[in-house]
Chains A and B, each alone.
Chain A
């Protein structure tokens, strides 16, 4: 390793002078993180309520009449878009990325705090534009979250006039916000690590967020271009995506566009987006598992490479979402192959998580419950992904509930479980207080068992041939009468899971006020964010001197150490490094350049 002695960079921090600059127009990454997180969770609750509307309709058709067919489609669209982009992307990268990157890298803040602040406020604007579409004439767009043309712009689709325009503008604004934040995250990780912290000593949480941000910076451009082109199609009548269409007997003013082009652009963004959500989850859960199992993460270097390889592969699998679009069958062959290849590094990660638990001194704290729950749901979602990655199996399953079950399991429930693990795990650092353990565990069991009650039956519905996207299933010859019973049961489970999320909010608000004082490092964790002089960390994070790192983040249960953890900033002179006999090749970065 080439050690490059560099003068300590000291950043001129913008020190706040009033309440407004401290908590509203704040340039402190921790405040921005909490602003991002709070906004994302708030808008996520909107999406949660929308999903419950849909479930009420499917579970009890013709009983409640909460929503009509149009608002059903609007709910589907807004639920999907909000959950994927405005909740998961924003919370993982804007929330946890902002909070953890500077702390875990031993930095005082992001490299460009002003731009970071701007990122949040532009994100908020995009959320407001999105929510505004509920109040315009025609309501939000009901085109499905993939916004496929030509149906997005056809008169039969709800929100085909104002709704779709606001959706596209909101997405474009979101991309601007993400780019400003994302550039900050990437450059902070690359250029602003503290002394001794090489890339291969970074906690996996930072690796996951870092690679996901890189993916975002290269994938969101495709969505931006698709949004701009579709805006022109909708507003000034160009024909990028619109072929010649006859609507109710009249030919529309479109000619010669390519709807498939939109699908390619959308999924060139859309598939990396899956990993933009998944990779931070992989990273965060690795740290939670290792900390609470009191054991180093198994195969650290392998985990890093798996994250990078998954990130690279995610750019060449996009058309597996388009097997039924009528593209050339050879494309299907190529994309099925790459899709199955991506299962290799992903499975490797799962094995390594399980092997991290193996013979660990496991502490069953609430974050650990969620982390282990994640391994279950992720394996389930991943296995059904192998079904859908194959063209011949995907064709009959593509328009059924099997797909709904698959992606909710793999990129809905799994990241959400990691989010809760991370929220509970880092809550003591963010607030200085412990959450209520019993309530958190109850929250876990309600969520974990409840989501299984929702999505496991959906797989069977899908294999049975129940189509997705239907407002009401009615009675058909191929669907057994029990289909409706299953749907009713799913709805009851969904209502239960939705309501049980209240436990989380009650827990958080109660603990903020009445929780026990947590101290700086309640879990005995190694990574730098737990070693700050103040809890919660104050502006500038590190007091007078920046920390120096002497080891990786996973020195748990090292033989001969005073405690079962050795913080990253403990010098070799004070605590043992792992000796030759217990040598773990992942530990010593100096011998492992390539």
Chain B
């Protein structure tokens, strides 16, 4: 379906612009429908992650056993002494990098450079898949080597494993869904589906991707640093 034609009138700034938008007929935001929908969905999704993280903080207070020492559990050693949080640092770096490539893809999309758009979308998806792969490695290490289970672990409070697997799992599902979404968008661009409609879809997918990255920053801070 066709999206909104951009208005020829330059929108006002600040409060006046806000009032103009909301009192206008036709549309309240100067954005395509899909983009408006994605923004609202992301706010809704923010509430989901907020509830997860609030729940995590709550059980961390109510649990009767000591909280396990994360920095030791999440340490990796390369031959020598264990380096705390090294894997998670790499994972975070990969995911943040993928936000950069996503931004490039959006840019090339608006320049209608289909080839480069597809390249950068695929690169973003590759980084995302790498992230999920490393997460799988981390999970395996925790489950097999360290004996951490959702219902208990040798280090202390059983809630540690519960929230860790639940929240990182939920985030991992988001990243995986994002990878599939990006590849689907890339395929449709390849097929010429957006040639006439414009490439807003890249930005819409980008919104989702940046959101998933942003959520990771919070999960990272709450689980590994706190």
Contacts and interface: CB of A to CB of B under 8 A. Distances in A.
Interface string B31-71: 00110110011011101101110010011011111000000
Nearest to A191: B27
B168 interface: no
A217 B40 contact: yes
Given A6-B4, A199-B23, A179 B44 contact: yes
A253 B64 contact: no
A346 B135 CA distance: 50
Contact of A6 (B22, B23, B26, B33): B26
B162 A240 contact: yes
A549 interface: yes
Interface stretch (A182-190, A371-379, A407-415, A445-453): A182-190
Interface in B1-37: 1-5, 7-9, 12, 19-29, 33-34, 36-37
B27 A190 contact: yes
B62 A257 contact: yes
B189 to A, nearest CB: 19
A541 interface: no
B159 A253 contact: no
Contacts of A186: 37, 40
Nearest to A111: B33
A338 interface: no
Given A232-B150, A238-B162, A253-B151, A6 B55 contact: no
Interface stretch (A8-16, A142-150, A486-494): A8-16
A196 B26 CA distance: 7
The 6 closest A-B pairs by CB, nearest first: A256-B63, A2-B20, A221-B47, A225-B51, A238-B162, A258-B62
Given A238-B162, A240-B159, A593 B23 contact: yes
Interface string A549-573: 1000000000000000000000000
A190 B36 contact: yes
A516 interface: no
Contacts of B33: 111-112, 187, 191-192
B157 interface: yes
A195 interface: yes
A3 B24 contact: yes
B150 A112 contact: no
B158 interface: yes
A122 to B, nearest CB: 15
Contact of B59 (A183, A217, A257): A257
A63 B204 CA distance: 63
B47 to A, nearest CB: 4
Contacts of B47: 218, 221-222
A256 B157 contact: yes
B180 interface: no
B166 interface: yes
Which of A4, A224, A232: most chain B CB closer than 10 A? A4
B25 A196 contact: yes
B151 A2 contact: no
Given A12-B1, A187-B37, A4 B62 contact: no
A20 interface: no
B25 A3 contact: yes
Contacts of A243: 62
A421 to B, nearest CB: 29
Q: How large is the interface on A (under 10, 10 to 19, 20 to 34, 35 or more residues)?
A: 35 or more
Q: How large is the interface on B (under 10, 10 to 19, 20 to 34, 35 or more residues)?
A: 35 or more
B35 to A, nearest CB: 10
Interface in A1-45: 1-7, 9-12
A258 B44 CA distance: 25
Contact of A255 (B20, B36, B65): B65
A229 B166 contact: yes
A482 interface: no
Contacts of B43: 217-218
Contact of B41 (A7, A179, A264): A179
A258 B59 contact: yes
Contacts of B52: 225
Contacts of A229: 55, 166
A251 interface: no
A239 interface: yes
Contacts of A224: 48, 51
A187 B22 CA distance: 13
Interface string A172-210: 000000010001101100111111111111000000000
Contacts of A9: 2-5
A228 B188 CA distance: 34
Nearest to A180: B41
A232 B163 CA distance: 10
Nearest to B161: A238
A199 B24 CA distance: 7
Given A3-B24, A7-B5, A265-B51, 9 more contacts: A10-B2, A179-B41, A183-B40, A186-B37, A187-B37, A194-B25, A239-B59, A240-B159, A256-B157
Contacts of B23: 1-2, 198-200, 589, 593
A258 B22 CA distance: 43
A261 interface: yes
A228 B56 CA distance: 13
A329 interface: no
Contact of A191 (B2, B4, B41, B64): B4
Contacts of A3: 24-25
A236 B44 contact: no
A192 B43 CA distance: 21
A3 B26 CA distance: 9
Given A236-B150, A238-B150, A255-B65, A193 B25 contact: yes
B32 to A, nearest CB: 8
A237 interface: yes
Contact of B27 (A6, A10, A228, A261): A6
